[in-house]
Amino acid sequence: MRRFIILAHDVPTHPEFSLDDLPGGAGRLDVLCRCVTAGLLRSHGVRTDSEVIVVIQDELVVRFDGASIRRLNPDERSTAARFREAIADAEDAIGSISVDSSPGVSVARGDFTSVLSDIDGNLVQLHEDGEPLPALEPAEPVTFLLSDHRPFDENKETRASEFGARRICLGPEALHADQAITIANNYLDTNGYRTY
């Protein structure tokens, strides 16, 4: 099992945004859509052992579960529609109980800390100051922590550290979150993490 938790800083917590302006009015939702694609999709197939968890403004938690996802297409716009539907369905979410939105997509109220509290196994924060990727030895399950176009703030850095996250660096270049997910997935694929 592999998980990717991504902090979304600017995605609205209400569904009144246009699919025609993902980088603007939708608060860089394009980044999160690409993260879902990178985390769950291979060529003509789904990574059934993978889960992508997006924490929106420390208020909403949207989960895309590879084991149960249906009709997930790789383009940004159709994934953005799934996000918007989940954000609308969040109005029915009471406390931390999740609401099923579309097949394989669920939403709940929650924040970074509540999500981390539910995670078992190894935590890895992808970070430019981390150890090189080859230092990451195979272990099951593994959860990667990432942020969207904005960096982790000090509070979130502290939280990740308190939960025992190890910092790993993917290479000399600063990458987009979805690119980081693609590289992490490929590293797991080629180093024996494959579990499905």
Sites of contact with its own copies (CB under 8 A) = 19-20, 22-23, 30-31, 34, 37-38, 41-45, 73-78, 133, 149, 170-176, 179, 182-183, 185-186, 189-190, 194
* Residue number with CB closer to its own copies (36 or 116): 36
Contact 108, 60 (CB under 8 A): yes
The crossing angle, in degrees rounded to 10, of helices 29-40 and 76-89 is: 100
* Beta pairing, strands 60-65 & 105-109: antiparallel
Least distance (Å) between residue 170 CB and its own copies: 6
Least distance (Å) between residue 186 CB and its own copies: 5
Largest interatomic CA distance in the chain: 44
* Residue number with CB closer to its own copies (57 or 78): 78
Residue 109's H or E segment, with its range, is strand 105-109
* Residue number with CB closer to its own copies (119 or 133): 133
* Residue number with CB closer to its own copies (93 or 180): 180
Burial readout 148-187 (b: 16 or more C-beta within 10 A, e: otherwise): beeebeeebbebbeebebbbbbbeeeeeebbbbbbbbbeb
* Residue number with CB closer to its own copies (37 or 106): 37
Least distance (Å) between residue 109 CB and its own copies: 28
Nearest to 152 by CA among 131, 120, 127: 127
Least distance (Å) between residue 179 CB and its own copies: 5
Least distance (Å) between residue 10 CB and its own copies: 14
Nearest to 138 by CA among 58, 194, 62, 80: 194
Least distance (Å) between residue 32 CB and its own copies: 11
* Residue number with CB closer to its own copies (50 or 143): 50
Q: How far apart are CA 177 and CA 189, in angstroms?
A: 18
